[in-house]
Amino acid sequence: MVTLYDKTFLPFISNKDILAAIDKVSKEVNETYKDAKDTPIVLIVMNGALMFAAELLKRLNFNMEVMSVKLSSYQGTNTSGTVKEISPITGDVAGRSVLVIEDIVDSGGTVEHLEEMLQKKGASDVKICTLLLKPEVYNRDIPLDFVGMEIPNRFIVGFGLDYNELGRNLKDIYVLNR
């Protein structure tokens, strides 16, 4: 059990299972980009996807450029429904293939925002890679190209995911104790 501020969280997904999901996703990503004509951009959505991206990048075997963007859509344990851009994309994506690295997709508001932003900035191709997906609440038409694992619609922390900025450093994923 982990306590963060006023909430307790119970073990949910072990680091071993997280790494197995990353192994699976990395094989799919490598297969997709193995014959890429240009150098794709790997766009890490900060801060949540940092740990996932670090593990994933170690497993990717094609040339890439790495960029980041910082977005926010959560307040406490609830999504605000609004995506705020905290820090812009750290480079130019015009005419380039972009692989977005997300920690978790729930309703899909962030990926929809990113897709629109990248299209406006002239990206030639956008693919979405997420460690976690909550399929029961995902309600967008944007395809998710690479998904590590599907989980129920519960609030979680650890492995990059936070509760008011705490818990990102936990190697396992924990679920809110109801």
Give me the CATH number covering residue 63: 3.40.50.2020
Q: Which residues have a catalytic role annotated?
A: 106
Establish if 158 belongs to a structural domain.
Answer: no
Model pLDDT for residues 56-109, shown as the tens digit of each residue: 999 999 999 999 999 876 565 565 567 777 787 988 999 999 999 999 999 999
What is the domain range of residue 138? 15-32+43-153
Residue 102: DSSP 8-state: E
The token pair that represents 62 in the structure block = 């094609």
pLDDT tens-place string over residues 18-52: 999 999 999 999 999 999 989 999 999 999 999 99
Q: Look at residues 98, 75, 72, 76 and name the one whose alpha carbon lies nearest to residue 85.
A: 72
Single pTM value for the model: 0.93
The alpha carbon dihedral of 23, 24, 27, 32 has a sign of: negative
Q: How many domains does the chain have?
A: 1
Residue 85 counted as domain residue? yes
